[in-house]
Structure formats: C-alpha cells, structure tokens
Amino acid sequence: DAGVIQSPRHEVTEMGQEVTLRCKPISGHNSLFWYRQTMMRGLELLIYFNNNVPIDDSGMPEDRFSAKMPNASFSTLKIQPSEPRDSAVYFCASNLGGVPYEQYFGPGTRLTVT
Amino acid sequence: EDQVTQSPEALRLQEGESSSLNCSYTVSGLRGLFWYRQDPGKGPEFLFTLYSAGEEKEKERLKATLTKKESFLHITAPKPEDSATYLCAVQASGSARQLTFGSGTQLTVLP
C-alpha cells in the first residue's frame, strides 16, 4: 500500500491567496483526519471525517478554513484568504474507524504564507 | 479535558546507553495510548498501541509499557538511527476518533 498521500509537499504563497491542500487516504480506511503542526502548539486536530461525513470541525481555527471529502479516496483542506499565521505543516491521517484505532499519517504539506 | 505531558523535552544518549521516555496522561476513560516516531520533515510513524494498564509491546530496541497514569518508552542499547522525536497520544473512550498528542521528546543518540 502506498500509504497516505498528500500534495503538494511544499507550498509558498502570499498573504490573501487561496491555498488548497490535498489528501488521499489509505484504501479501505473510512476515517480521515486533518492536523496542523507548529513548534508552539504541536499537533492539533483540525477536523475529521467518518465515511466522508465531517464529524467534528471544532478544531478549525476560523471560517477561513474549510474541508471537504467528496469521496472515500480524496479530501481537501482550503484556506481562503491565507495569512502568515497559517504557516505550519499540515498532516492528513487515516484509519479504519474502529479497532485498531491507530492513525496513519501522510508526509505532510509545509505551508509558508508570506 | 484530556492532557498528555511528555518528559524530558530532549534527551541525548550515547550509543548503547539505555533510557526511558515518559508520557503522563489525564483522560476520562482511556480507549488507547499510542506511540509515534517522527523524523525531521516527515509525518509521524506509528509504533505501538496500548489499551490497558499492565500491557507491554516491543519492537526491536523499543518497549512500551502502560500504567493507569503514564506510559514509558524504554530504549535498550540505542543506535544513532533511533534519533527522532517520539510522540505520545491518547484517545478517550468518550471521543469517537480524536487523538490528543503530547509535545514529544526529541531523542538524539550519539555514535
């Protein structure tokens, strides 16, 4: 299995621009998670989906952030408009949605907003 | 609120010098405790899941143990390739899927 796939791996954009991050979960996994990692706050859960349905988006920092999962093999995280404080590494993870509960992470997208 | 505290923040060992990393947790009912390894520029790599106090799991030079309040990751005779940040996370029985992560222990093993 190829594991969780994320694109792009690196994104540099200017403040105010729209940014879209993409994720393909492991085949057969029905739960998908978006995390953000910074030095100050560590790994934070932004939102997770179960069977393509958003279950908890309480970690989404503000309305500039939105996430979709149109099918079982694809999800996007969008930031519009982007701000310098959004600079971080964004990870996507997936799991079976049941036992075992461990989540498998993608390689991440390093976002820099100037 | 679920909380995870890892110590020490950073640890430097000589190759072959065994040690332990600590993960203390507060959770309203533990569904699972997870250990991950993260290398620079990469995503966290799953190592172990522990479900109940007294449980132990091993993988090569790593051994994870669990009590009702904390977990230890024991590293026996480490090698330089064991250098990484080790993350601990908990999943509460009341939460459907969320993991709460600690801030990690950055391990450096010197040759």
Contacts of B79 (CB under 8 A, 6+ apart): B15, B61, B109
Residues B99, A95: C-beta atoms closer than 8 Å = no
Q: What is the mean pLDDT of residues A76-87?
A: 97
pLDDT in the model for residue A97: 76
Provide the mean pLDDT of chain B. Answer: 94
pLDDT in the model for residue A61: 87
Pick from A44, A32, A97, A28: which is nearest to A68 by CA? Answer: A32
Q: State the greatest distance between any 2 C-alpha atoms of chain B, in Å, as a whole number.
A: 44
B45 has a chain A CB within 8 A of its CB:
yes
- Say whether pLDDT at B6 is over 80: yes
pLDDT in the model for residue A101: 80
- Say whether pLDDT at B96 is over 90: no
Compare all CA atoms of chain A with the CA of B104 and give the residue at the minimum distance: A42
What whole-number distance in Å separates Cα of residue A78 and Cα of residue A85?
A: 15
Compare all CA atoms of chain A with the CA of B91 and give the residue at the minimum distance: A101
Work out the percent of chain A whose per-residue pLDDT is above 90.
Answer: 85
In this structure, are residues A22 and A13 in contact, taking their beta carbons and an 8 Å threshold? no
Q: What is the mean pLDDT of residues B62-86?
A: 97
pLDDT in the model for residue A1: 63
pLDDT digits (tens, 9 = 90+) for A23-47: 999 999 999 999 999 999 999 999 9
Residues A102, B45: C-beta atoms closer than 8 Å = no
Pick from B79, B72, B67: which is nearest to B35 by CA? Answer: B72
In this structure, are residues A3 and A108 in contact, taking their beta carbons and an 8 Å threshold? no
pLDDT in the model for residue B29: 87
Residues 70-99 of B with CB under 8 A from A: 87, 89, 91, 96-99
What whole-number distance in Å separates Cα of residue A55 and Cα of residue A58?
A: 9
B64 has a chain A CB within 8 A of its CB:
no
Q: State the pairing for strand pair B84-92/A53-56.
A: unpaired
Pick from B28, B47, B6: which is nearest to B91 by CA? Answer: B28
